[in-house]
Amino acid sequence: MAELPSYDISVSANPMTAFKDLPVKARFRFMLDNAQNTIMAYIKGPVCRGQLALNVINDRFWVFFLDPEKSDLPEVDEFYQQQADNLKLPSELESNTVPITNWVKYANQQTRYLEAKSEFMNKWFEGGKHLTTDVLWTGDGENPNAALTVFRHFDSASVVQGLVGNQPKTAWILDYALLERIHYLLVAGFDVYGNFGHQLITRMFMDFLRMEGESNFLALLPNTVRHEEFSSWYQEQSPQFSEFLQRNIKPFSQPTQVLYLTQDYKKELFDKLEKELAPVLHDRFDIVNTGLSSENEALLRSIDDIKGEGLKTVPQIVMVMIEAENGNQQLFTLLHNNAHINISSLFSEEKNRDYKNDDFTFVRGVIGSYQVRI
């Protein structure tokens, strides 16, 4: 590196420009080795406080990462450098900004990036070459940060290691550019004293990054079902949002090389990922070794299968203390996962609620920062 990165906002607000002299692999590894902490920095930070900030994510989803070894290619480094202008973030506007006009600017910028990314991926994965679960990081067989679960608790959130609960509706796969941009959007470049415009455009831009992570996950499904699956996550969306989906999801058309034996593709994919990541998945939150009988443990595990509108009045987080026959006490957490027909609307969360698909996640130990009931 000839010189340290400039503090000029045009450089420092964009990690693709500020750290261009550092190898992508090294930058990615630095964030992955403690990925839970990396993501917790914004999940627990001031940017994710309150309903309006948190309704940008689903109530429970799994997070996976691209393998830095698989992406350690000169072509990838060159692509990021070519896209530096399209990877700019709202933080370059500093604390005072007009949200609507600038949102259009960044929407167009994200469109250009996704089009270029689709073109790059179509060439790199031509005919499905390399497009298997092998592209995902397995934590080198020992790092539990390779798979994370994010919970939203209405106006707060938690992130834990492992794949907790039943298989979720959605999942993210984060590559280097996406993980770095989320960090810069929500942590490094977020001004807690910024005006409402700064906070609003940050929240709106996060919609783009969430959908990009979801689209990365969908790329491992058969190309015939990707758009249908994605649309099922965003039902009854606005015409403008529908147009955005049409422009940015369909272009990547290469077939996956993941072998599917049934037509329940998403379940099969989750099953494969759970199996491949098994060496780094721990049982910290599983209903095992509780001191209770196996029958009672089975009953507690069955709580995860409860769903429906009857859960509407159950708090987001409930701490449960259970005393075993031998007198030992064990603490559990009951998490209420709110379902939505889509999370693309900024102010209409109640309108988008899907109460019939609300469900529970019941875990051993504690998840959540602010318990509601004990």
Q: Is residue 2 part of a domain?
A: no
* H/E run at residue 152: strand 148-152
The last residue of a domain, from among 231, 248, 280 = 280
Residues 369, 51, 372, 356: is their CA dihedral positive or negative?
Answer: negative
Residues β-bridged to residue 144: none
Rounded distance, CA 140 to CA 37, Å? 18
pTM for the model stands at 0.92
Same domain? 235 vs 303: no
Q: Is residue 289 part of a domain?
A: no
Q: Is residue 161 part of a domain?
A: yes
Q: What is the pLDDT of residue 374?
A: 47
Q: Which residues have C-beta within 8 Å of that of residue 355, sequence separation ≥ 6?
A: 308, 309, 311, 312, 339
The boundaries of the domain holding residue 313 are: 294-364
Rounded distance, CA 180 to CA 165, Å? 27
Same domain? 62 vs 182: yes
Residues 38, 202, 177, 341: is their CA dihedral positive or negative?
Answer: positive
Same domain? 203 vs 97: yes
Per-residue pLDDT of the chain (374 residues; tens, 9 = 90+): 567 777 777 777 788 888 888 888 888 999 999 999 999 988 887 777 777 678 889 999 999 999 999 887 888 888 988 998 888 888 766 666 666 667 778 888 888 898 899 889 998 888 888 899 999 999 999 999 999 999 999 888 999 999 999 999 999 999 999 999 999 888 887 877 777 777 788 888 888 899 999 999 999 999 999 989 998 998 887 666 666 555 544 568 899 999 999 999 999 999 999 999 999 998 999 999 898 999 999 999 999 999 999 999 999 999 999 998 888 899 999 999 999 999 877 777 889 999 999 999 999 999 987 655 54
The last residue of a domain, from among 258, 280, 302 = 280
pLDDT digits (tens, 9 = 90+) for 354-369: 999 999 999 999 998 7
The last residue of a domain, from among 252, 280, 308 = 280
Q: What is the pLDDT of residue 77?
A: 85
Q: For 98, list phi and psi in degrees, rounded to 5.
A: -95, 115
Rounded distance, CA 226 to CA 254, Å? 11
Rounded distance, CA 303 to CA 359, Å? 9
Look at residues 145, 136, 152 and name the one whose alpha carbon lies nearest to residue 66. Answer: 136
Same domain? 123 vs 180: yes
**Helix, strand, coil % over all residues of the chain, rounded to 5:** 50, 15, 40
CB atoms under 10 Å from CB of 116, counted, come to 14
Residues 228, 233, 237, 241: is their CA dihedral positive or negative?
Answer: negative
Q: Is residue 203 part of a domain?
A: yes
Q: Is residue 287 part of a domain?
A: no
pLDDT digits (tens, 9 = 90+) for 288-298: 989 899 999 99
Rounded distance, CA 147 to CA 173, Å? 10
Count of domains observed in the chain: 2
Q: Which residues have C-beta within 8 Å of that of residue 286, sequence separation ≥ 6?
A: 363, 364
The SS3 assignment for 363 reads: strand
CB 149 within 8 A of CB 60: yes
Same domain? 86 vs 140: yes
Same domain? 167 vs 108: yes
Same domain? 267 vs 306: no
Q: What is the pLDDT of residue 245?
A: 56
Radius of gyration of the chain (CA): 21
Same domain? 255 vs 298: no
Strand order in the sheet with 317-323: 317-323, 329-337, 359-364
Q: What is the pLDDT of residue 308?
A: 96
Rounded distance, CA 23 to CA 28, Å? 9
Same domain? 265 vs 349: no
